[in-house]
Amino acid sequence: MTHHIQYERLLPSAPGTSRTVGIHRFGVPGALPKIYLQGALHADELPGAYILHHLIERLRKADRAGAIKGEIVVVPLANPIGLAQRIQAIHAGRSDLGLGGNFNRNYADLSAPLHEHLGRFAPEAISEETVRAFLRLEVEAITQKTELDSLKKTLLALAIDADYVFDLHCDDEAPVYVYLSDENHPQAVSLTRDLGARAAIAGTSEMATFKDACARPWQIASRIAGRPLHGCLAATIEYRGTRDVNEETAQSDAKRLYAFMQRVKILDGEPEPLPPAFSPITPLAGVEHLQADRPGIIVFRRQPGEQIAAGETVAEIVDPVSGDRSLIKTFAGGVFFGHVATRLAVPGSTIASLAGIAPRMQTGEEAYP
Ligand SMILES: [Zn+2]
């Protein structure tokens, strides 16, 4: 059997204390394909962590049966710093309460050093292994001063040479949806179908999210090699809303992830037939964020998961003092994939998001989960 749990110690933030990251490892190190999965990078988003608990149970069985062919690394709780951030009984796990900001931003961009490195090779001599070996060394060389630096470096080191990187998050209130690094990856469509994603949004942003940090070097490598090097399909998977931790969906989601891993030959065994697609893959630039135009109470008129046509009303904002009502309508429409948990409208804040077919606007910092 290959399964073991490893604990990686972070740099201390206070004298005499330190935190660790718990890592489940399956398969022979270096075996391909490699998959890396992590949960609760935004530490108050726990549905993914519970799905990974069930996935680990399934993988332990597969390991006993000798069915693991590739390498599998699972970190169910990726953010021990954020897990400890409670303010008067409220868990605030999305952003570092120190100076680090959003936990899913500003990962090291290894594209520039990779670009320089690959410039020394003839394009036909650039292989997936050339890229992987360089990325491993570059992550090792990242300097770290703070506990948060060491967390980011630890997670990136586990993921950077993987063929598949799945970062499990959730929205406030939403169906399952996914941000993909690359819609042209041969497994992109089957992943969205295996996940049962109601929306699938493809592209990399300028925010250097964990997904972007893992995928972006491969885009550079493909450009220099002059052919697609599908080294990493990275996905930020949004598993419904923050309160959607339940037994039935977690079991089902773990089963779906397991089927995908069979489909791409990380695991032995015949996967279940590919489920139907709910939505085409749409561009990140086609995401429409609906914003509050006045202060008031938000009353949603439509449900996340629904298809909304151009110009339809998604919500109303009601000011009970003046009696004014405002209709919040879509511009181009698309799949309504999530809305905020609060019902207090603050002018200018995003209250709902839709995935549309046509590129029309940039994704805002505030609205990206
Ligand atoms: Zn998140």
Question: How many residues in the chain?
Answer: 369
Mean pLDDT of the chain: 95
227-250 confidence digits (pLDDT tens):
999 889 999 999 999 999 999 999
The verdict on 34 and 183 lying in the same domain is yes
Q: Helix 47-64 crosses helix 247-263 at what angle (to 10 degrees)?
A: 50
Determine, yes or no, domain membership for 212: yes
Return all residues near 222 (Cβ < 8 A) that are at least 6 apart. 228, 229
* 170 lies in the same domain as 304: no
For the segment 143-171, what is each residue's pLDDT rounded down to a tens digit?
999 999 999 999 999 999 999 999 999 99
Q: Is 369 helix (H, G, I), strand (E, B) or coil?
A: coil
Q: What 8-state DSSP symbol labels residue 35?
A: E
Query: Per the domain annotation, does 363 fall within a domain?
Result: no
Distance (Å) from CA 199 to ligand 1 centroid: 16
d(CA 104, ligand 1 centre) in Å: 7
What is the per-residue pLDDT across 297-334, written as a single tens digit (0 to 9) for each?
A: 999 999 999 999 999 999 999 999 999 999 999 999 99
Q: How far is the CA of 82 from the centre of ligand 1 (A)?
A: 12
**Are 147 and 237 part of one and the same domain?**
yes
In a domain, 314, yes or no: yes
| DSSP code at position 111 | H
d(CA 6, CA 65): 22
- Per-residue 3-state assignment (H helix, E strand, C coil) for 140-161: HCCCCCCHHHHHHHHHHHHHCC
User: d(Cα 127, Cα 150) in Å, to the nearest integer?
Assistant: 29
Bond before 33 cis per omega within 30 degrees: yes
pLDDT at 207: 87
CATH number at residue 231: 3.40.630.10
C-beta atoms surrounding 278 within 10 Å: 19
Q: Could you give the number of structural domains in the chain?
A: 2
Span from the CA of 103 to the centroid of ligand 1 (angstroms):
9
Please give the distance, rounded to the nearest whole angstrom, from the Cα atom of residue 50 to the centre of ligand 1.
Answer: 15
Measured CA to CA, the distance from residue 241 to residue 48 in angstroms comes to 10
Cα(264) to ligand 1 centroid in Å equals 26
Residue 365's pLDDT is 43
- Shared-domain flag, residues 291 and 255: no
168 alpha carbon to ligand 1 midpoint, in Å?
8
Query: Is 101 domain-assigned?
Result: yes
Q: How far is the CA of 129 from the centre of ligand 1 (A)?
A: 31
Specify the pLDDT at position 113. 95
CATH number at residue 295: 2.40.50.100
Segment 24-53 mean pLDDT:
98
CA of 171 to the centre of ligand 1 (A): 7
Range of the domain at 139: 4-279
Banded pLDDT at 364 (limits 50, 70, 90): very low
Same domain, 85 and 66: yes
Q: Could you report the per-residue pLDDT of 331-363, keeping only the tens digit for each?
A: 999 999 999 999 999 999 999 999 999 876 544
Q: What is the pLDDT of residue 366?
A: 42
DSSP string, 281-303: EEEGGGEEEEE-SSSEEEEE-S-
For residue 355, the model assigns a pLDDT of: 97
Per-residue pLDDT band at 43 (split at 50, 70, 90):
very high
Domain match, 213 and 350 both = no
Instruction: Report pLDDT for 362.
Output: 46
Q: What tens digit of pLDDT does each residue of 262-309 get?
A: 999 999 999 999 999 998 999 999 999 999 999 999 999 999 999 999
Residues near ligand 1 ion, CB 5 Å cutoff: 42, 45, 169, 369
For residue 323, is it within any domain? yes
Write out pLDDT tens, residues 48-64: 999 999 999 999 999 99
